[in-house]
Structure 1
């Protein structure tokens, strides 16, 4: 097998891990199964990701990066905080939630697996902190570019946004109803905009 740098091999392994995790679940996913999915020897995988925990962390980081990219590509942050919240959440839902039940279930499973596994608790904490950090940065940028301020601190706005959308996603994957979820998402957008109450600086 030709040599491939870790910088290239890493994303290939993470993509394979994501596929196996969605298909088999966190508990049943092994490094050997991921190596097989990636078409590489187990030793090659372990050179890049020596432990399952490190691989799971890399998968979480990729999911967070996907969310960040969707938010940034969705909303014109120069059109104000309210616009960014509305357009960002609508695009997030249509891009990463609708038709992606497996990905969403995986994210919840990563959290519960980490919380139930001694020594992995930091993985769950990191996952939600990263979600909130991405949303906080995005909201802050939107407000700054439009010379607005939020009525509540941006870290709190981000945590509430993540919590509200998290609940909607859990309902959708448990009891799918696209029309209901679309209406509920609009209600959440209205609540978040009201909480932020953007005003000129």
Structure 2
């Protein structure tokens, strides 16, 4: 049997963990069930991820990088800040929210599990800080490339964007209504664009 390198094995096990968590819930997911899902002995999983907490962090990292990839793919490098907000949010929603309730519930469960597990509170803090960093970084890069300024700090823009979209996701998951959700999403995007007050840097 061909030997699988550590990076590939880690990715396979994270994918297996995501499948189990989406199906069974984070609290009911154990290293044993993830090993079975991934088709490896429990000892192999424990060698890569000695604890459930380390596995959870790897899953959160994987989810956040997926979000970052979707945002980057949706945004044109030269489109400017308003485009980055509009295209990033709508691209994220269409690919990772619409029809993906299992993924969104899993993300909320990861947060609450970390908050309720003594010693793991920092994991939840890191999760949301990473979301904000991704959004703020992409918005700042888009503005810089277009020679634009933002009326509020990019970190604050990132926090408000994440908070607004997060709330709409929770409402959508609890009571799916695609037309309502899209209308509300468009309204939130419009508010964020207005708050950003995008201007050309040479006009300030």
Range into which the TM-score falls when normalised by the shorter chain: over 0.9
* 1:30 lines up with 2:39 in the alignment: no
TM-score of the pair, normalised by structure 2: 0.97
Aligned counterpart, 1:139: 139
Aligned counterpart, 1:118: 118
Q: 8 Å contact 1:77–1:143 — kept in the other structure?
A: no
SS across alignment from 2:189: helix
SS across alignment from 1:78: coil
Unmatched 5+ stretches in structure 2:
none
TM-score of the pair, normalised by structure 1: 0.98
Q: Segments of 4+ in structure 1 off by > 3 A?
A: none
What CA distance in whole angstroms lies between the structure 1 residues aligned with 2:137 and 2:174? Answer: 30
Unmatched 5+ stretches in structure 1:
none
What CA distance in whole angstroms lies between the structure 2 residues aligned with 1:27 and 1:89? Answer: 29
What CA distance in whole angstroms lies between the structure 2 residues aligned with 1:19 and 1:147? Answer: 42
Aligned counterpart, 2:186: 186
Q: How many residues align?
A: 201
Aligned counterpart, 2:88: 88
What CA distance in whole angstroms lies between the structure 2 residues aligned with 1:16 and 1:93? Answer: 24
Aligned counterpart, 2:57: 57
Aligned counterpart, 2:103: 103
After TM superposition, give the deviation of residue 92 of structure 1 in Å. 0.4
What CA distance in whole angstroms lies between the structure 1 residues aligned with 2:68 and 2:99? Answer: 19
After TM superposition, give the deviation of residue 3 of structure 1 in Å. 2.7
1:128-149 deviations in whole A, cap 9, x for unaligned?
0000010011001110000001
